[in-house]
Chains A and B, each alone.
Chain A
C-alpha cells in the first residue's frame, strides 16, 4: 500500500490545493453575499421536519396503498437489476447498461410520435416500451458491429452509441412535445424517473420481469458463469456463446426498459452496476455474489424508496442510488473477501511474519558467524547477542527491528536478558534453523539448477523463503540430493554481517 500512496501524493496534493482554492473563492463570495440583502432563504435555514411518529407508523406498517406499491415495485426492480448486474459486471460489460439505457430514448419518443400520428394512445406503456426495446437492440447491435468490424475500441463504441442515440432522443423529444394532438408531458419521466407515482400495474410488470430474470439466471447459472469467466472455453465445450451473450443482453435490456420510468435513465445504470460491484467485495463465490448483489439491490431500493416516502423533498430515484452507494462504500471498506480492511490486515500479517523470520535468521547467522551454534538443536542454552548488532545485517530501521523483537518476545521466540541483549529460546532457535534451511535450500537450487552466481542468490532467496511450504522443501531436498536428516545446511556463500 505504501508505494501506491507515494505515487499518488503529488496529484493528491494538487487536488487539495485546487479544493482549497475553490473553497476560498466560495468563502470569499459567501462573505460578499452576506453584505447583500438575502434574496431568499438558503439551505442552512431550511426547515427539516423530522417525521412524526404517526408518519413513521404509516410508512413502516405499509398503510398507504401508494407506499406499498412503490416499495414493492422498487424492491423487485432492485433485486432484478442486482441479479443480472452481477453477470454483466463479471463479463466486464458494466457500462453496456449505460449505453443501452441511453439508446432507448429515441425509441420511446419515436414510438410516441408514431402512435399519436396513427391515432393510438401515445402514452400507452406497451407502445413506449416496445419502442424503447427496438432502439435499445439497435444500439447494442451498433456497438457490436463497431467493435467487430472496425478498430475503434469498445469504450469509444459505447460512448459513440450512447451520445448519438441520446442526442437523437433529445431532438425527437422536442418534436414529440410539439406533436399536434399529443400530450407528451410525461415523456421526461423516462430520463429522471417517477418512482413516487408508480402505478400498481407498473409494479406488477416489474415483478413479472423480476421473476423472469431471476428464474433465468438461476436456470442458466452455470452457462452464464462459464461465459463470464472463460467464454472461449465455453465455446469449445459446445456452449452457444453468442446466443447466451444475446440472452444476457436481452435480460439487461428488459430490466432497463421496465426500470426506466421507475428510477430514470442515469439511475438505472446505478442499479445495474453498484449492487454488483458492492457484492464483489464480500465473496469469491459467484453464486453467493449474485445472491448478495440481488439482496443489496433489493434492500437499497426498499430503503431508498422508504426514506423518500418518509422525508419530504427527497426524490426516490436519487435516494435509492445514494443508499446503494453507501452500501458500496461500506462493502469496499469492510467486505469480507476483498474489502480494503481485510486486504490491509492480510498485508500487515504477512509483513509481520516476514519480519519475524528475518529476525530469527539474522540471529542464527550471527551465532553461526561467531561459531557459537549449539551442537544439537534444542536443549542447550543459546548464547545471548546484542540486538544492536542485528541492525546492520538488513536494511531495517531501528523501530522496525524493535517492533519485530517485541512481537517475537510475545510469541516466546526470543527472550530479552537486559536492555541490550536478547537470546533465542529453544522454540525460536528451531524456527530459525527451519527458516535458514529454507533460505539455503533455495540458494542451492538457484546455484545448481538456474546457474546463478553464488554471490547473487541471497536476495532472490530472501523473497522466496517465506512462502516455501513443506511439500516444496521435500521436493527441493530430493532435487538437490541433500542429506535426509533435517539439519541446516551450510551457506553457499560467505555470510556478511554488514549490509
Chain B
C-alpha cells in the first residue's frame, strides 16, 4: 500500500536505498569508535571542512574528475584533525573550541573558493549539505558487465575498506579507544590508530557527500552508535546493532521521505534528511525504552520498588495492629496516616494487595489474610532481627535502631534472616521487648 502511495519504482528507489544503506553502514562502523573516543563532533567538523578541498581540487584541475576531488577533500579532512590536535596541544585551547575554530575557518575558505568558481560551475554548497541522493541512478557505470550507479560502487568500496580496517585492527582499535595508556604499554601506537581512523572518516565523509550530503554522514557517524550504546555494553554487539540501526534507518528514511509529506498533502522530500530523522527516531526509542537503561524501564522499576515498599509497610502496619488485638481491623484513613507516601499510591497498592489476596476487605475495614500474615511476619521478623543485631553487634542505642531496620527490612531475604538469626543467637525478643515472629515455612 505504501509502495502505491509513493509511486514506488524499484529501478529508482531500489538504488537510492542501496546507496543510503551502504553509506549509513560505512559511517556507522567507524562511528562506534568515534563515539567511544568521545570524538563524535569530529565527524561533523571533518564533513564541513572538506569543502575547501573539493573547491581547490576543482579550481586547480578545472574538472570534476572524481578522484582528484576525492584526494583533495580527504587530505583537507585529515588536516582538520591534525590542526585541531595541534591547536589543542600547542595553543592550550579547549578541544571543542579548537575544533570550532578549525572547521568553521576551513568552511569559510571553502565558501570563498566556491564563490570564485560559481560563474562557471554548479558546485553549490547546498549540494554538500543535502546531497543529491535522488540523483543516484542517473550516473551509471558498468562493472563486471552490469550497470550500476557510480555512487553505489564508490560507497560499496568505502564500506569494504572500512570493514577491512575494523576487522584487521579490531583489537588495536578497541584497546586504544578504551585505554590509550594501556595500549601504549602494550606496544600499540595510539597515535597511528587515531590518524588511521581519521583518514577513513575523512574518506567516508568525502565519498558520501555528493551522494547523500554531509548531514546524513554526521548523523550516521554518531546516532546509530549512540543508539547501540544505549542497548549494550559489549563492543561486538554495539557494532552489530549500530549497523542494523543504520541500515533500517536508511530504508525507513527513504520510505518516510515519500510517505510522510504525502500524508500532509505535500510532495516527497529529501531522503537524506529523513534518513537522519529516522535514525534519530531510533535513538529516541532506545533512550526511552532500552531494557537496561531506558528512561521508561527505569521509571517502571523505580515505581515497582516504591509499590513494593508501600505494600510491605501496609502489611507490617496491619500485622503490628493485630499484635495489640487480633480481632482489630483498620480503616484506610488510619493506614494512610501512618505511612509517609502519596495517598493515591497507597490506595492503588492497597487495591492490589486485596486483589492478590494478601489483605481482606470488609466494607471500609481491612485485615490480613492468612497469606498476607505470613508475608508480614517475615517482614517483621527481618525488622526485629535487624534491630537486635544492630544493638548487639553494631553498638547502636536501642531507640536509634528503628530507621535503619525500617530501610533494611525491605531488602532482607530468607537466607539473610537465617544468618541474622544465627548472629543474634536465635533471639526471641527484640530490643524494644517485642516478640520476633518465628520463621514460617
Q: A40-B62, A267-B107 are in contact. Are A156 and B222 (CB under 8 A)?
A: yes
A155 B112 Cβ-Cβ under 8 A = no
B112 A318 Cβ-Cβ under 8 A = yes
Check: A153 CB closer than 8 A to any chain B CB: yes
Please indicate the chain B residues that have their CB under 8 angstroms from the CB of A163 in the complex.
Answer: 44, 215-216, 218-219, 222-223, 276, 280
State A25–B221 Cα separation when bound (angstroms): 29
A51 CB to nearest B CB, Å: 17
Contact of A273 among B39, B104, B218 (CB under 8 A): B104
A266 B61 Cβ-Cβ under 8 A = no
A167 B94 Cβ-Cβ under 8 A = no
State A232–B335 Cα separation when bound (angstroms): 42
Please indicate the chain A residues that have their CB under 8 angstroms from the CB of B229 in the complex.
Answer: 151-152, 156
B58 CB to nearest A CB, Å: 10
Please indicate the chain B residues that have their CB under 8 angstroms from the CB of A171 in the complex.
Answer: 257, 269-270, 273-274, 277
Q: A92-B94, A315-B111 are in contact. Are A167 and B280 (CB under 8 A)?
A: yes
Total interface residues in chain B, CB < 8 Å: 86
Shortest Cβ distance from B92 into A: residue: A338
A156 B97 Cβ-Cβ under 8 A = no
Check: A54 CB closer than 8 A to any chain B CB: no
B295 A149 Cβ-Cβ under 8 A = yes
A95 B63 Cβ-Cβ under 8 A = no
Check: A18 CB closer than 8 A to any chain B CB: yes
State A14–B72 Cα separation when bound (angstroms): 16
State A185–B91 Cα separation when bound (angstroms): 42
Please indicate the chain B residues that have their CB under 8 angstroms from the CB of A373 in the complex.
Answer: none
B104 A274 Cβ-Cβ under 8 A = yes
The segment from B17-25, B115-123, B174-182, B387-395 that touches chain A is: B115-123
Please indicate the chain A residues that have their CB under 8 angstroms from the CB of B125 in the complex.
Answer: 192
A322 B63 Cβ-Cβ under 8 A = no
Main secondary structure of the interface of A (DSSP, over half): helix
Please indicate the chain A residues that have their CB under 8 angstroms from the CB of B189 in the complex.
Answer: 10
For B380-399 the 0/1 string (1 means CB < 8 A from A) is: 00000000000000000000
The segment from A173-181, A239-247, A432-440, A473-481 that touches chain B is: A173-181
Shortest Cβ distance from B125 into A: residue: A192
The segment from A72-80, A275-283, A404-412, A450-458 that touches chain B is: A275-283
Interface residues of B in 266-314 (CB under 8 A from A): 266-267, 269-270, 272-277, 279-280, 283, 287, 293, 295
Check: B60 CB closer than 8 A to any chain A CB: yes
Contact of B68 among A29, A150, A273 (CB under 8 A): A29
B111 A318 Cβ-Cβ under 8 A = yes
Interface residues of A in 286-328 (CB under 8 A from B): 313-315, 317-319, 321-322, 325, 328
**Count, A-B residue pairs, CB within 8 A:** 258
State A149–B287 Cα separation when bound (angstroms): 9
B62 A150 Cβ-Cβ under 8 A = no
B108 A276 Cβ-Cβ under 8 A = no
Please indicate the chain B residues that have their CB under 8 angstroms from the CB of A10 in the complex.
Answer: 189, 191-192
B75 A94 Cβ-Cβ under 8 A = no
Check: B57 CB closer than 8 A to any chain A CB: yes
Shortest Cβ distance from B60 into A: residue: A26
The segment from B82-90, B346-354, B362-370 that touches chain A is: B82-90
A340 B91 Cβ-Cβ under 8 A = yes
Check: A7 CB closer than 8 A to any chain B CB: yes
State A310–B70 Cα separation when bound (angstroms): 34
Please indicate the chain A residues that have their CB under 8 angstroms from the CB of B273 in the complex.
Answer: 166-174
B94 A266 Cβ-Cβ under 8 A = no
State A159–B115 Cα separation when bound (angstroms): 28
Contact of A33 among B61, B191, B230 (CB under 8 A): B61
Please indicate the chain A residues that have their CB under 8 angstroms from the CB of B98 in the complex.
Answer: 277
For A24-59 the 0/1 string (1 means CB < 8 A from B) is: 011001100100001111110010000000000000
Main secondary structure of the interface of B (DSSP, over half): helix
A11 B230 Cβ-Cβ under 8 A = no
Please indicate the chain A residues that have their CB under 8 angstroms from the CB of B57 in the complex.
Answer: 26
Contact of B101 among A97, A319, A325 (CB under 8 A): A325
Please indicate the chain A residues that have their CB under 8 angstroms from the CB of B226 in the complex.
Answer: 152, 156, 160
Contact of A319 among B75, B112, B222, B293 (CB under 8 A): B112
Check: A430 CB closer than 8 A to any chain B CB: no
Check: B169 CB closer than 8 A to any chain A CB: no
Q: A43-B59, A156-B40, A322-B108 are in contact. Are A167 and B222 (CB under 8 A)?
A: no
Please indicate the chain B residues that have their CB under 8 angstroms from the CB of A172 in the complex.
Answer: 269, 273
Interface residues of B in 332-360 (CB under 8 A from A): none
B107 CB to nearest A CB, Å: 5
Check: B78 CB closer than 8 A to any chain A CB: yes
State A169–B219 Cα separation when bound (angstroms): 13
Check: B100 CB closer than 8 A to any chain A CB: yes
A29 B61 Cβ-Cβ under 8 A = yes
Please indicate the chain A residues that have their CB under 8 angstroms from the CB of B59 in the complex.
Answer: 42-43
Q: Which of A40, A41, A280, A332 has the most CB of B within 10 A?
A: A332
Contact of A18 among B78, B89, B96, B225 (CB under 8 A): B78
Please indicate the chain A residues that have their CB under 8 angstroms from the CB of B62 in the complex.
Answer: 33, 38-40, 42
Interface residues of A in 402-455 (CB under 8 A from B): none
Please indicate the chain A residues that have their CB under 8 angstroms from the CB of B79 in the complex.
Answer: 15
B223 A170 Cβ-Cβ under 8 A = no
B133 CB to nearest A CB, Å: 11
Q: Which of B57, B130, B261 has the most CB of A within 10 A?
A: B130
Interface residues of B in 28-86 (CB under 8 A from A): 35, 38-41, 43-44, 48, 57, 59-63, 65, 67-68, 71-72, 75, 78-79, 82
State A64–B79 Cα separation when bound (angstroms): 41
Q: A11-B191, A43-B117, A171-B274 are in contact. Are A166 and B38 (CB under 8 A)?
A: no
B91 A332 Cβ-Cβ under 8 A = yes
B280 A318 Cβ-Cβ under 8 A = no
B266 A179 Cβ-Cβ under 8 A = yes
Check: B195 CB closer than 8 A to any chain A CB: yes
Shortest Cβ distance from A328 into B: residue: B101
Q: Which of A11, A94, A164, A343 has the most CB of B within 10 A?
A: A164
B419 CB to nearest A CB, Å: 35
State A119–B397 Cα separation when bound (angstroms): 76
Please indicate the chain A residues that have their CB under 8 angstroms from the CB of B120 in the complex.
Answer: 40-41
B267 A94 Cβ-Cβ under 8 A = no
A150 B108 Cβ-Cβ under 8 A = no
Please indicate the chain B residues that have their CB under 8 angstroms from the CB of A156 in the complex.
Answer: 35, 38, 40, 222, 225-226, 229
Contact of B82 among A15, A166, A321 (CB under 8 A): A15
Please indicate the chain A residues that have their CB under 8 angstroms from the CB of B63 in the complex.
Answer: 29, 33
Please indicate the chain B residues that have their CB under 8 angstroms from the CB of A169 in the complex.
Answer: 273
B218 A89 Cβ-Cβ under 8 A = no
Shortest Cβ distance from A269 into B: residue: B104
Q: Which of B79, B115, B221, B277 has the most CB of A within 10 A?
A: B277
Shortest Cβ distance from B294 into A: residue: A150
B270 A170 Cβ-Cβ under 8 A = yes
Contact of A315 among B99, B112, B195, B257 (CB under 8 A): B112
B266 A178 Cβ-Cβ under 8 A = yes
30 A-B residue pairs with Cβ-Cβ distance under 8 Å, sorted by A, are A11-B82, A18-B75, A25-B68, A30-B60, A33-B63, A43-B59, A98-B41, A98-B100, A152-B287, A155-B40, A160-B219, A163-B280, A164-B276, A164-B279, A167-B275, A170-B272, A171-B269, A173-B270, A192-B125, A266-B107, A269-B100, A274-B100, A274-B105, A313-B116, A318-B115, A321-B104, A321-B107, A322-B109, A325-B105, A332-B93
Top 3 nearest A-B pairs by Cβ distance? Answer: A167-B276, A164-B280, A270-B104
Given contacts A167-B274, A322-B112, 6 further A-B contacts (CB under 8 A): A25-B67, A26-B71, A43-B116, A270-B108, A273-B100, A318-B108
